[in-house]
Copies of this chain bind each other. A is one copy, B any other.
């Protein structure tokens, strides 16, 4: 059968990894596919840098159009990242009849609902396995492997930078700022780490997972998002004493009787049982836990980033497309699982569960003045709001005469909890700055 000709946009870290597989692993891929896949062109602004690869059979160019609209390219791999010009390039590729594979979570989260219909209209495929969980084939597992299930929950450790920082804080009893600096020095965190540590990257990925799990549209803007920057070594220690580890999780759950009517989506540091499989996911590893009404709990674990793992997922998508699309007109995109797990006409506009309605157990850290009656006042406010406590611990007094109090509550709604907290912080003996973490006991 004739070959599938691939054009690459972007020869950065991941682009180089993809080129490496396409060049070095050609024979293995052909044995698995029964047809060759060939890297035919690659575009990057910097062509001078040595990437340690033999590009002698590849058309190198600094013009994106030499890939996007070239007649000899069947499939474009977009590895530029970010919203623009990635979006315009992908639109152009689709308009010129090219299949698209991307690792760009921001692009899919923000513009997926524009790109999927365009691809469907043109009879083209969009692959984006690498956008969530790096090398882990977790989207395939959710979309195809768990396709017989109504999905009951999705929990994901989706950002390697945050997981690396939290693991190091836990192992070394170190504080956030010190570990962040170390991570930046090692290249594990960006100079401006906001996207990672404030949970935005995780929210991108979660919005894709949630839409795929529940057949809804991607609603990245509606994900409730909190990062890890307020967590202290002492919070991690308190959590450990209570039998938990703190992980930045993306969480999606369905709401409704029988049919899903609303989707809960949230990203925040979360206490998970210390002996759970998810709690063991350390360093820069990622994992996605998918629970379904038949399959029960499943988990998919691996490298969430990096040249080689991410390239592995990109090429898996290329191979899926190569299997059904010969590049000869007899293309069979309809034989692929639909990109978002439900056929297009069946994807619904589901509402996002309002934040106030989220039900959670909570971990609270309050700084209170060390004087009689404060704890009584705090706990009586909680009682007023019918929030009962599972555990409470008081740490040693700091220099400022204020004492940290840690509390673990039973389940209540976010709205109710916030109302109680606002009354508690109006007490003169309680500091304004309350740390609110959430706990998920159902994690395995």
Contact = CB atoms under 8 A, between A and B. Distances in A.
Interface of A: 17, 21, 25, 28-29, 31-34, 129, 135-137, 140-141, 144-150, 215, 275, 277, 280-281, 292-303, 306, 308-309, 311-313, 315-316, 319-320, 323-324, 332, 335-338, 341-343, 346
Contacts of A313: 145, 295
16 contacts: A25-B294, A29-B148, A31-B342, A32-B215, A34-B343, A137-B140, A141-B145, A148-B312, A293-B308, A295-B308, A296-B303, A296-B308, A297-B301, A297-B303, A298-B301, A298-B303
A282 B281 CA distance: 15
Given A141-B140, A147-B29, A342-B32, A335 B323 contact: yes
A215 B338 CA distance: 28
B332 A309 contact: no
Contact of A316 (B147, B280, B332): B147
Consensus secondary structure, chain A interface = mixed
Contacts of A311: 148, 294
Contacts of A215: 31-32
Contact of A140 (B25, B144, B297): B144
Contacts of A303: 295-298
A277 B311 CA distance: 23
A17 B338 CA distance: 25
Nearest to A21: B148
A410 to B, nearest CB: 26
B294 A21 contact: yes
B316 A145 contact: yes
A148 B343 contact: no
Contact of A315 (B148, B316, B320, B337): B148
B25 A319 contact: no
Contacts of A136: 145, 295, 298
A148 to B, nearest CB: 4
